[in-house]
Amino acid sequence: MSAELQVPRLAESISEAVLVEWLKPDGAAVRVDEPVATLETDKAAVEIAAADAGLLRHVSKVGDRVVVGQVIARIEAGAGADGGARAAQSAPALSGAARGGAATEAKPQGTKTQAPPAAAPAPNRSAAPIAVPATPGPATAAAPASSGATASAAFAPGDAPLAPSVRRLVEEHALDPASIAATGKGGRLLKEDVLRHLEAPPAPAPAPAPAERSAAPAPAPRAASPAAGAPEFAEGEEERAVPMSRIRQRIAERLVQAQRTAAILTTFNEIDMTATLALRARYKDAFEKRHGVKLGFMSLFGRAAILALGEIPELNAEIRGTDIVYRRHVNLGVAVGTPRGLVVPVVRRADALDFAGIEREIARLATRARDGSLSLDELSGGTFTISNGGVYGSLLSTPILNPPQSGILGMHKIEKRPIAVDDQVVIRPMMYVALSYDHRIVDGEQAVTFLVRVKERLEDPERMLLDV
C-alpha cells in the first residue's frame, strides 16, 4: 500500500513550480514531516515534506515543471518500509546529494528498536552569533578533516539541514559541514560561511619525517575556485546559455509589469546624517546589550517612513480596478540581495513595532533570505518597500516599484560632502534618498512632502520618539 506525495497549494495565484532537488534519494526510508524535495516557485524555494513514513519512490525528475495537485512521488508503507528504515540505520552515511543535509535517518513511528550508541559530540555551534555580520572578517582556518571525511559526514542530532545552495557548494568542494563555522540562526550553515571557509588559507600540514620527505611528491598547487555563480566554460567555448531560474524569471516579469502598468516617477532629496550617526554611536552598545540586536539604519529609516506614511497614506495604498485601497497597517518590505536574486521579505505590521522589534525582524528575515528558507507568507503582502543600495556603494539610483505597491524608498551610500550651513561651508555625512511612486495615485506634492518628513526625522531623530 502506498501514499501519494502531491504538490501542495503553494500560495494564491501560484499554480506551478519546478522540482529543483530531491532531498531524499529514490528508495530511501523517510519519516513523517521529513523534507524530501525542494520546489522553486516564482517567489521562493519551498521544501515538501512527507506526510507518511515509508520508502520514497520518485515519480517526477529534477527539472520537471509540476502543478498543484500533481503526484511527484509515492511512499510505500508496510514491512518493506520498516526494513528499509532499519537498513538505513545500519548502512554507511549516504552521500551529501542523497542525504540532502538532513539529520541521521530516523525510524518510522511505532517501530521499537534498541537505541543506537551515542555519537561523538559535534562541534559546539551555540556560540556562533545569531545575525550575519555586516562586514565579515577572514574566517579562522578550520582543522583539516580526517582522510575519509567528505560532505557525507553525519550530522549530530539537532543540526539544521543545509539549504540547496549551501549543499551544492559543500558537495562540489568535498567539504565537511561540521568543520565550517556557522553563523546562521540556530547554528545554521549559510552560503557565506562556506565561501569564507574556501577563501581562508588552509591550515599548515605537519612536517613529514625525514624519510618521508624524499619519497612523497610535492603537492600540486590548488586551482583557484571560480566565482560563485559564474558558469564554467569548456575549452574553446565562447559563450554558454544558462536557463533563468523561476525566481529570476519572475523578477524580470514583475519589473517589466511595473514599468508597463504604473506611471512611475522618482523624486530625490538629501539627508544630513550627522545626528543619526551620533545617535547610533551614543546608544549602539547599550541598545545591543538591552535588546540583543544591533541598532542599524534600517530600523531608523523604517520608523521615519512609517510615520511619514501616516501623513501620506496614498503611498501605503494600491489601485484595484477603479478603486484606491488604503491600508490600516504598514507591511514593510525590505529588499535583500541573495545568491538567487533580489527578494523582498515583509515585516508585518511594522507600524506596531518599536526600533528593536523592527531590527530583530529584519535580521531574522535577511538571514532566512540568504539561506533560501523564506516561506511564501514571508514574501507576500507588502504595502511599502525600502531598498538600501548604499550597502553596495550606490550613490544615487531610481528604484522600481514592487507591484501592486505605490511607493518604494531608496537609500544610498553615506558620503562626506561640503554643504552650506548658516552661510558657512562645512563637511557633513550626506545621503541621497529617492522615492519612486505611482503617479496615478500619488501627486508630486505628496511625494515631495513624504521625503521631506523622512529627512526631518532623520536629521533630528528625537522627533521620532515624540512622534512630531
Residues identified as active-site: 439, 443
Sign, CA dihedral 349-351-352-358, equals positive
* Residue ranges of E strands in 263-366: 264-272, 318-320, 323-325, 332-334, 336-338, 341-343, 346-347
166 φ, ψ (degrees, to nearest 5): -70, -45
Cα-Cα end-to-end distance for the chain: 67
DSSP notation for 340-391: TEEE--EETTGGG--HHHHHHHHHHHHHHHHHT---TGGGS--SEEEEEGGG
- Name the β-bridge partners of 272: 430
Sign, CA dihedral 225-228-234-238, equals negative
Q: Give the CA angle between residues 73, 75, 76 to the nearest 5°.
A: 135
Residue 343 CB neighbour total at 10 angstroms = 24
Of 156, 157, 159, 162, which is closest to residue 175 (Cα–Cα)? 162
